[in-house]
Amino acid sequence: MLRTAASRPLFSTAALGSSGRLRRLLSTSAAAMMQATQAHRSGGGANPPMEFPCIDRIETRQRDLMAEPEPTYEKVVTGYELFRHNKTFVCDHGGVLPSVDIAYETWGTPNADRSNTILIHTGLSASSHAHSHAKNTKPGWWEAFIGPGKAIDTDKFHVICSTVIGGCYGSTGPWSVDPATGNRYATTFPILTINDMVRAQFLLLDHLRIDRLYASVGASMGGMQSLCAAALHSDRVGRIISISACARSHPYSIALRFAQRQALMADPNFNRGFYYDGVLPHVGMKLARQVATVTYRSGPEWELRFGRRRRAPDQPPALCPDFLIETYLDHQSERFCLQYDANSLLYVSKAMDIFDISKSVTDRLHTQRVKAEEKANASSAASSANDAVCLTVEEQPQSDAGHSGVETTDEIVRDLVAGVERAMQPALIVGVQSDILFPVTQQKEIADILRRAGNSRVTYYELDAMYGHDTFLIDVVNVGAAIKGHLENNI
């Protein structure tokens, strides 16, 4: 079961009377801490207590949030189109969504048979707004890469970008309302996989009458999706571009995302995910984003950008943000902490962790989903179907890897190669030498397994850029040239 007794809300309206009572409780606690601090300040010790302006700001933000309504993420991203799949969507791990909304945006014009369509897959917290347009003139997250004459040329291609399911910018996610209950899903939302996200995107393509993509393009988590699309929907994908991604998540990146989730869930306001009627877990989100930002950039860039410079070098060292790099992390995380839903961060980052294109894993997920679909079809109440599905030993697909206590490198590689044996499209794989989140060894692994599977049209391109994982957002010249060449050259 996804929900157990331990997953119930920590503060229920029955226990507290209302969310207003919770706010009063938190306000009283903050006041008590302030009184204790003032007592220490007047205690006459040998040294005055440290000043904590960063904590003062957090407490001010806490008080402001107590008076604010629940977040409206649809105001963060606007101007998208919405496709609703009104049939039950069964997830790989057994959870059920009675219907699915997918937010998407388009640029360029489709040709007669729509074969010039490029699907852009997003990273963890990105939205469908990859580029500006008449309905939303704000620059998109890949603004410099999309447009007439650019890397993804909208004079030649019809371009689509959608928000993944699990996100909070229009597509169905934890913040969405469960039609079975009338309440937000919160952490009753089912566990997702990258495969689930891609299957939902192909439902959108069906709706748009696009039989075959010209290309599937993505970076970071988007690169996982592009590889998944090529492997699982090979007859519907013409070319693939996977930038700064992997064929399976490795322990280092899993550990980093685990630390982010732990920081978020440790926030007292997280309330096991049922925080929408109370105070948002903004401190946990801020800490999680600080960890993430460290993984997105690189030491060499920050040496040049910040060095060891301090915000106020003529003042004594402080425990609050002091070095310029600290003020940068503080500012970036403060901007993000209320722009993205905390539950979405948990679910989407977990989907990244469990991604593995290996055949044994893909087969196991498929078998689980088929079993869950049979259960959902036999049940008249979709609300009762959000249970995890675990296969018995007898039901597990047969494989040499993924099930034994010891795996050899050869077993792992054979399993990965088998997982991409249908991905014979021309493929561009891009890695960045300074990327610590997805090191170049992981992009080399993608290129290697594609070639071993028999794909003779694989191009591996490695950049010596200083921007780390975020190079795909910044290096328009080099990343853009690689994308444009792969899309427009005859291969």
CA–CA dist 147, 131 (Å, integer)? 8
Q: Name the catalytic one among 101, 356, 435, 470.
A: 435
158-162 sheet: strands from edge to edge: 81-85, 100-107, 158-162, 117-121, 215-219, 240-243, 427-432, 458-463
Q: Name the catalytic one among 220, 249, 298, 333.
A: 220
Residue with tokens 């690169």: 223
Q: For the residues of 307-349, what is the DSSP string, one character each?
A: TT-BS-TTS---SSS-BHHHHHHHHHHHHHTTTS-HHHHHHHH
For residues 346 and 261, is the Cβ–Cβ distance under 8 A? yes
DSSP-derived letter for residue 140 is P
For residues 250 and 258, is the Cβ–Cβ distance under 8 A? no
Residue with tokens 């028999």: 454
CA–CA dist 433, 468 (Å, integer)? 7
DSSP-derived letter for residue 142 is T
40: annotated active-site residue: no
220: annotated active-site residue: yes
| Two tokens, residue 180 | 């079975």
| Two tokens, residue 49 | 């207590």
For residues 445 and 247, is the Cβ–Cβ distance under 8 A? yes
For residues 121 and 215, is the Cβ–Cβ distance under 8 A? no
CA–CA dist 340, 166 (Å, integer)? 11
What distance lies between CA 250 and its chain's CA centroid?
A: 16
129: annotated active-site residue: no
DSSP-derived letter for residue 131 is S
Q: Name the catalytic one among 129, 158, 469, 486.
A: 469
CA–CA dist 258, 353 (Å, integer)? 9
Active-site positions read 220, 435, 469
